[in-house]
Amino acid sequence: MAAILFVDDEPAIREMLSTVLKLAGHLPLNASDAEEARSVLRSHGADLALVDIMMPGEDGFSLARDLLDAGIPVLFLTARTAVADRVKGLRMGAEDYILKPFEPEELLARIDVILRRTQPRIFTDGGLTIDYSARSVALDGESVPLTATEFDLLALLTRSAGAALSRDKILSAVWGWDFVGETRTVDVHVQRLRAKLGPERIETVYKYGYRWQRGAACGKD
């Protein structure tokens, strides 16, 4: 599970990518141009960015430079087939290129490869340690038993540490886009995590959702 930003000026492409990423268990964050992408990133963290090259105004190369400087891996999506363009992007530090039109399965496979290489496998924050690969959690050296859903929720929050995530986005990323239920489900599971890890870690964002607070005091009251 990862927060993935995709930037493309074609609504049909954005809609398709949103559906594909949700079905794969990722949190999709979409933008139609570079300006909107920067606005999205001010509110959300991203583990990977899929960036179209040809967009109105600022092009994808310019946006990608800032994303790479911020430590966000970039995969270019483009209809441009010129070798010079691909070489330019790769020399900038982009992880990969995929040409339009593309098969969703191929895109997801490339995303998986990039995330395996770039995402940290261990998250530490004070006395809390999360091993994403082993799906294990320890607090002050003691194992904390979590359900599969609780772990997925914790992984989403910690991988987006500092970013406010809406209840709808959390529900879609953790429970799936076709989940039939209410956002109250998110609140219930957040309360369970707070009971196990301490109440300070997960901040409530009023009338919106939740944010993981890095460096907050850890442990039960």
**Residues 76/69/203/128 CA torsion (nearest 10 deg):** 100
Q: Given pLDDT bands bounded at 50, 70 and 90, which one contains residue 178?
A: low
Q: Which CATH class name applies to 3-118?
A: alpha beta
Q: Which two tokens stand for residue 13?
A: 């492409």
From the CB of residue 14, how many other CB atoms can be counted at a distance below 10 Å?
18
CATH number of the domain at 122-212, please?
1.10.10.10
Question: What's the DSSP call for residue 137?
Answer: E
Residue 220 has pLDDT above 60, yes or no: no
Q: How far is CA 107 from CA 24, 121, 161, 202, in A?
A: 11, 22, 26, 32
Q: Are 79 and 56 a contacting pair, CB within 8 Å?
A: no
Q: Are 175 and 181 a contacting pair, CB within 8 Å?
A: yes
Average confidence score pLDDT of the chain: 89
Across the range 146-155, mean pLDDT stands at: 94
pLDDT digits (tens, 9 = 90+) for 129-149: 999 889 999 999 999 999 999
Amino acid at 220: K
Whether the domain at 3-118 and the domain at 122-212 fall into the same CATH topology: no
Across the range 151-176, mean pLDDT stands at: 87
Residue 219 has pLDDT above 70, yes or no: no
Q: How far apart are CA 221 and CA 52, in angstroms?
A: 48
| Confidence at residue 221, expressed as pLDDT on a 0 to 100 scale | 43
pLDDT digits (tens, 9 = 90+) for 42-96: 877 789 999 999 888 899 999 999 999 989 999 998 887 778 888 888 899 999 9
- List the chain domain ranges: 3-118, 122-212
Q: Which two tokens stand for residue 212?
A: 């993981």
Q: Which two tokens stand for residue 23?
A: 């079905």
Residue 187 has pLDDT above 70, yes or no: yes
Q: From start to end of 62-176, where are the E strands?
A: 74-78, 96-99, 122-125, 128-131, 136-139, 142-143, 164-166
From the CB of residue 195, how many other CB atoms can be counted at a distance below 10 Å?
11
Q: Given pLDDT bands bounded at 50, 70 and 90, which one contains residue 217?
A: low
φ, ψ of residue 143 in degrees (nearest 5): -65, 140
Number of H helices, E strands in the chain: 8, 12
Q: Given pLDDT bands bounded at 50, 70 and 90, which one contains residue 182?
A: confident
pTM confidence score:
0.69
